[in-house]
């Protein structure tokens, strides 16, 4: 039977089919345009189960509707948002669809295959970061009583916008308290019981594949398998010992013992031997000892005793420059250097100690010169609260060196000096970045609150600007300073969130002074206006244009590149509120019909590290 759903078909006068994406657990999935949301892309999942018999069909439909109910209650930035479920009749046959947000990006399967073509694989650091980014998502769904049941590289997408893994295809989700399998066993017939045993062979644990038994640790098992596939480039069938059905992966790769042990516990053949919650795995990863993660800067055993790490009381890294006289006189430095030279001359230390030596000696003067007094003086000159700054520097330090959280090194070791220099290097860069803020914005760091956000909203209303447009400008300045951060993340409540609010303070000043705000007025009898400008790195500008409803609007931004980004927002009074007609569009153009009269906002921001000229063309046709 030919598929009656084809590209170009419009369902319910709303969803225009673009192409088929593949087959899900219950049927096909399609990429579509939502004509009610300005041609925004979305995913339609068709209900077309491969089952026989009225009872099987009924139970499958119940599962499909249950999936919609589960997706509806999941609200997480790393899970596609659920929009609606609808029925549609085509050629006399009824169809059932659910609609989800479209996630732009590549699956980890595609990323892995691309790397293999270049003779590369995922590194241990990348996989550890991947686990730390995805485990909170599993913790979230598990706390809601949901188990994904089908985690694999095919069902994970690295989202283009924020470079975070997104968990897709919840065709296998099941609320843990339901016992659908037993219902089928008692009431159903034929092959239907197998329909509940979802999961990919090799990725799902044995009890899930054979018996349909699932728990939270089933997802953790599949996640560990996925991590091994990314590390080795091999499918599970090549990593499993077929005699006892246990993973035998250590002969394929060499990773730190701590991460290896964590993966082994996630992969335990007996469910009772595994981690039972995602939180337990997160805590285990956070507590990974630095003794196996120092890589090229790891000192040899006879220079630093790794046993000291767990025996010294926990303290914040920021306390090092505050409470301890860590910068010693030249005689102590000479002694430390002499010890290192003597040991190195004896041989047997290897290239790791050599790299330690190079980094240590090359930065010796930097360590001596970066005294706590000098940093304190600079912070005082800039009007930055010292206690806040140390918490911010700690946040960046632990983000870069997560293995050091909760640990302290003896100040009698050379490694201590190296870590001290690393902290100061981060603090120095942070100070340079904060210096670019206005003095008024810097002085309030550590004291911003939600009251400031409420005040900005009131000011934005008077300017006819939406929060989305305001955030775009603030994000541009923020990402220019902190390129490792991502747009759209909720930072309020974190030390780095204070910096975002400081940048927002300067953004508001730019809008109120009209430096970054301009109204576009169409010349009488003309339907087209063009505005030109130049943006410095991290700068942005908002253009306001009053438009009537039911006008055909064409917008084009030149150059058409990722160096300059375009967002369009409808008037503030538009209901339902929209996240934007387009946001940071890579195509930098849009065409559609206006839905209401009012000030439309056209946001242009720089994504370049150089000054960039642009041209914005607006064409409004009645």
- Whether the Cβ atoms of residue 64 and residue 96 lie closer than 8 Å to each other: yes
Q: CA-CA distance, 479 to 38, in Å (whole number)?
A: 27
Q: Summarize pLDDT for 480-506 with one digit per residue, the tens.
A: 998 876 555 667 778 899 999 999 999
The predicted structure's pLDDT at residue 408: 62
Terminal C-alpha separation, the chain:
45
Q: Is position 2 within any domain?
A: no
Q: Which of 28, 36, 160, 51 is nearest to 98 (CA)?
A: 28
Q: Is position 205 within any domain?
A: yes
Q: CA-CA distance, 23 to 30, in Å (whole number)?
A: 9
DSSP 410: -
Q: Are residues 97 and 68 in the same domain?
A: yes
Q: Are residues 279 and 143 in the same domain?
A: yes
β-bridge mates for residue 619, sequence order: 528, 554
Q: Is position 503 within any domain?
A: no
Residue whose structure tokens are 């997408």: 157
- Whether the Cβ atoms of residue 89 and residue 15 lie closer than 8 Å to each other: no
Tokens of 261: 């042990």
- Whether the Cβ atoms of residue 27 and residue 3 lie closer than 8 Å to each other: no
Q: Is position 1 within any domain?
A: no
CATH at 49 = 3.30.200.20
* Residue 551, domain extent: 450-494+508-622
H-type helices in 293-347, by residue range? 308-311, 319-323, 330-346
Residue finishing a domain among 270, 288, 306 = 288
Q: Are residues 316 and 392 in the same domain?
A: yes
Chain Cα centroid distance, residue 581: 23
Annotated catalytic residue, options 91, 101, 150, 475: 150
- Whether the Cβ atoms of residue 134 and residue 168 lie closer than 8 Å to each other: no
Q: 330-346 vs 351-362: helix axis angle to the nearest 10?
A: 160
Q: CA-CA distance, 268 to 276, in Å (whole number)?
A: 11
CATH at 601 = 2.60.120.380
Q: Are residues 468 and 353 in the same domain?
A: no
Q: Are residues 88 and 140 in the same domain?
A: no
Instruction: List all residues 6 or more positions away from 294 whose beta carbon is below 8 Å from its beta carbon.
Output: 352
Q: Are residues 122 and 221 in the same domain?
A: yes
Tokens of 212: 């349909």
Q: Are residues 135 and 221 in the same domain?
A: yes
The predicted structure's pLDDT at residue 441: 93
CB-based burial label for 28 (10 Å; 0-12, 13-18, 19+): middle
The predicted structure's pLDDT at residue 177: 33
Sign of CA dihedral 130, 133, 139, 140: negative
Residue 150 annotated to the active site: yes
Q: What mean pLDDT value characterizes the chain?
A: 78
The predicted structure's pLDDT at residue 220: 96
Sign of CA dihedral 385, 391, 397, 399: negative
CA angle (144 as vertex; 138, 147 as ends), nearest 5: 50
The predicted structure's pLDDT at residue 25: 53
H-type helices in 407-449, by residue range? 414-434, 439-443
Sign of CA dihedral 388, 392, 395, 397: negative
β-strands 582-585, 40-46: how paired?
Answer: unpaired
CB-based burial label for 307 (10 Å; 0-12, 13-18, 19+): exposed
Q: Per-residue b/e over 550-578, b at no fewer than 16 CB within 10 Å?
A: ebebebbbeeeeeebbbbbbbbbebeeeb
The total domain count for the chain is 4
State phi, psi for 519 to the nearest 5 degrees. Answer: -95, 135
Q: Are residues 220 and 339 in the same domain?
A: no
Residue finishing a domain among 101, 118, 134 = 101
Q: Are residues 256 and 123 in the same domain?
A: yes
The predicted structure's pLDDT at residue 208: 86
Q: Are residues 54 and 194 in the same domain?
A: no
Q: Summarize pLDDT for 333-365 with one digit per residue, the tens.
A: 444 444 444 434 444 333 333 444 344 444 444
Q: Are residues 277 and 132 in the same domain?
A: yes
Residues of the chain with pLDDT under 70: 1, 24-26, 48-57, 59-60, 63, 67, 171-198, 242-243, 288-373, 406-414, 485-490, 525, 574-579, 584-587, 622
Q: Is position 543 within any domain?
A: yes
Q: Is position 50 within any domain?
A: yes
Q: Is position 72 within any domain?
A: yes
State whether residue 523 is helix, strand or coil. coil
Rounded to 10 degrees, the C-alpha dihedral 449/454/457/462 comes to: -120
Residue finishing a domain among 46, 70, 101 = 101
Q: Are residues 513 and 618 in the same domain?
A: yes
- Count of alpha carbons within 13 angstroms of residue 57, beta-carbon side: 6
Q: Is position 5 within any domain?
A: no
CATH at 204 = 1.10.510.10
């Amino acid at each position: 039977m030919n598929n009656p759903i084809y590209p170009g078909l419009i369902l319910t006068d709303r969803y225009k089919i673009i192409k088929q994406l593949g087959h899900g657990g219950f049927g096909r999935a399609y990429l579509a345009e939502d004509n009610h949301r300005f041609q925004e892309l979305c995913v339609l999942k068709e209900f077309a189960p491969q089952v026989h018999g009225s009872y099987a069909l009924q139970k499958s439909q119940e599962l499909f509707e249950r999936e919609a109910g589960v997706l509806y209650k999941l609200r997480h930035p790393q899970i596609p948002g659920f929009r609606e479920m609808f029925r549609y009749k085509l050629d006399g046959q009824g169809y059932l669809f659910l609609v989800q947000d479209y996630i732009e990006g590549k699956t980890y399967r595609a990323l892995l295959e691309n790397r293999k073509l270049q003779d590369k694989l995922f590194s241990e650091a990348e996989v550890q970061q991947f686990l730390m980014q995805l485990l909170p998502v599993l913790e979230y769904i598990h706390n809601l009583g949901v188990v994904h049941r089908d985690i694999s590289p095919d069902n994970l997408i690295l989202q283009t916008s924020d470079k975070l893994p997104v968990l897709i295809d919840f065709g296998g989700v099941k609320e843990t308290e339901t016992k659908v399998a037993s219902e089928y066993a008692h009431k159903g017939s034929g092959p239907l019981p197998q329909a509940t045993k979802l999961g990919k062979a090799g990725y799902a644990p044995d009890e899930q594949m054979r018996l349909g038994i699932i728990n939270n640790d089933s997802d953790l098992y599949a996640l560990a398998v996925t991590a091994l596939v990314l590390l080795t480039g091999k499918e599970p069938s090549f990593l499993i010992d077929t005699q006892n059905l246990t993973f035998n992966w250590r002969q394929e790769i060499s990773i730190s013992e701590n991460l290896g042990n964590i993966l082994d516990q996630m992969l335990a053949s007996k469910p009772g031997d595994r981690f039972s919650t995602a939180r337990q795995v997160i805590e285990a990863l956070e507590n990974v000892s630095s003794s196996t993660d120092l890589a090229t800067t790891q000192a040899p055993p006879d220079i630093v005793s790794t046993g000291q790490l767990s025996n010294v009381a926990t303290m914040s890294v920021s306390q090092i420059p505050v409470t301890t006289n860590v910068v010693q006189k030249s005689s102590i430095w000479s002694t430390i250097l002499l010890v290192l030279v003597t040991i190195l001359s004896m041989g047997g230390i290897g290239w790791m100690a050599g790299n330690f030596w190079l980094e240590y000696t090359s930065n010796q003067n930097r360590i001596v010169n970066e005294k706590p007094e000098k940093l304190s003086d600079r912070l005082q000159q800039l009007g930055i609260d010292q206690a806040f700054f140390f918490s911010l520097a700690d946040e960046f330090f632990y983000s870069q060196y997560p293995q050091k959280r909760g640990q302290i090194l003896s100040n009698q070791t050379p490694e201590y000096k190296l870590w001290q220099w690393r902290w100061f290097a981060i603090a120095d860069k942070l100070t340079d970045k904060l210096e670019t803020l206005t003095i008024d914005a810097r002085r309030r760091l550590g004291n911003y609150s939600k009251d400031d956000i409420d005040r900005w909203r009131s000011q934005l209303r008077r300017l006819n600007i939406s929060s989305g447009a305001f955030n775009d400008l603030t994000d541009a300045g923020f990402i220019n300073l902190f390129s490792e951060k991502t747009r759209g993340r909720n930072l309020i409540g974190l030390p780095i969130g204070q910096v975002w609010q400081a940048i927002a303070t300067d953004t508001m000043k730019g809008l109120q002074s009209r430096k970054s705000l301009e109204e576009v007025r169409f010349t009488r009898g003309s339907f087209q206006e063009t505005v030109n400008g130049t943006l410095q790195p991290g700068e942005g500008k908002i253009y306001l244009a009053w438009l009537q409803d039911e006008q055909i609007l064409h917008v084009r931004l030149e150059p058409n590149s990722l160096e300059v980004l375009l967002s369009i927002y409808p008037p503030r009074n538009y209901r339902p509120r929209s996240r934007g007609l387009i946001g940071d569009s890579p195509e930098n153009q849009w065409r559609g019909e206006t839905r209401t009269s009012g000030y439309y906002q056209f946001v242009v921001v720089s994504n370049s590290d150089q000054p960039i000229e642009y041209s914005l063309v607006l064409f409004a046709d009645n």
